[in-house]
A = this chain, B = another copy of it.
Amino acid sequence: MPDLRRDPVIGRWVIISTERKKISVEKNPVENEEELKTCVFCEGNEHLTPSEIIAYRKYGSLKDKPGWWVRVVPNKYPALGIEGEIHRSAEGMFDMMSGIGAHEVIIETTEHNKELPDIEDRKAEDVIWAYKDRIGDLRRDTRFEYILIFKNRGRAAGASVLHPHSQLIALPMVPVKVKQEQSGSKAYYDFKERCVFCDIIAMELSDESRVVTENDNFIAICPYASRFPFETWILPKRHYSHFSDIEKYDVTLLTQIMKTVLDKINKALDNPPYNYLIHTNPLKEPNSPFYHWHIEIMPKLTRVAGFEWGTGFYINPVAPEEAAKFLREEV
């Protein structure tokens, strides 16, 4: 008999159906394509991207020239435009808004085939610093309500360039899914007077069956109502709402746990395509007692089909306890 499990934050039900043997997890390793000659993100090809916004680079090296290790550039094909005013209007009964926003690319390394786990610690930390610095800069622009940091790795996860990179999108509204997470965690807080994420962390630490790894300040778990096989969340043990309030020592510890978790996922699942996302508070919300930022990592091993789209709930053929055990034991 499959389990139906309810996500404690937004109330989403997930079917954990490990008996459906037929739906095996498809290993789908990221292609190791030779893009090197034309890769727009490789060192030496800086002229192929729009001019850099920031870069961490050798003292004395020149903008848009080699010498960097993390580099942030505008997306050449932005989903939203940075120029102009927010303009809301009606089209008959419908509502529209001008597509103002920022869309940036964080190039994580000069090397085409290196992923975060392979990058030396200090340079890997600078990927996290780039996330934080860009949010700090863009949040001063009062047109924006939300900033999403995400990574698509591998074509099946939506990456159009294979060179390791993350993306940032600044939006003029708070997206629906973020609102759901806000209102779900607020409802829990109103009832319990505790943060639902803090409760999850305490419960997972005492139970241990869904813990992938932890360090002093962060924990990685396969969540109780995982939508996807090997879905993994990384949460700070200390409660705070905005990712961008992260402190220096936590950047080090976050980098460490991300390297560990991604390395385990790569080894366990043969370098799968994946997405990760930073879930953080809307820009104009104060630090709140109910919202707790975190990172959600979703390996792309199954196809999302009609059933999931229609109902907003998911059939997951791998129990999170099994996934966590497998990842925990992967050296």
Using CB atoms and an 8 Å cutoff, list the residues of chain A in contact with chain B: 1-6, 8, 10-13, 15-17, 20-23, 76-81, 84, 91-100, 146, 148, 150-152, 155-160, 167, 169, 171-173, 175-178, 180, 199-200, 203, 207, 224-225, 275-277, 279, 296, 298, 303-307, 309-313, 315
With A2-B80, A176-B12: A224-B158 Cβ-Cβ less than 8 Å: no
- How far apart sit A140 and B177, CA to CA, in the bound complex (Å)? 34
Please measure, in the bound complex, the distance between the C-alpha atom of A200 and the C-alpha atom of B93, giving whole angstroms. Answer: 8
Set of chain B residues within 8 Å of A279, measured between Cβ atoms:
310
Interface of A is mostly: mixed
Q: Which residues of the partner chain B approach A224 to less than 8 Å between Cβ atoms?
A: 91, 94
- A94 & B175 in contact (Cβ 8 Å cutoff): no
Specify which chain B residues have a CB less than 8 angstroms from the CB of A176 in the assembled complex: 10-13, 311-313
Among B95, B156, B180, contact of A8 (Cβ-Cβ < 8 Å): B95
Contact (Cβ within 8 A) B307 A77: no
Contact partner of A306 (CB less than 8 A), chosen from B13, B21, B151, B177, is B151
Q: Are A199 and B77 in contact (CB under 8 A)?
A: no
The interface residues of chain B lying within 8 Å CB-to-CB of A159 are 305
Q: How far is the CB of A204 from chain B (nearest CB, A)?
A: 9
Chain B residues, Cβ within 8 Å of A306: 150-152, 157-158, 167, 275-277, 298
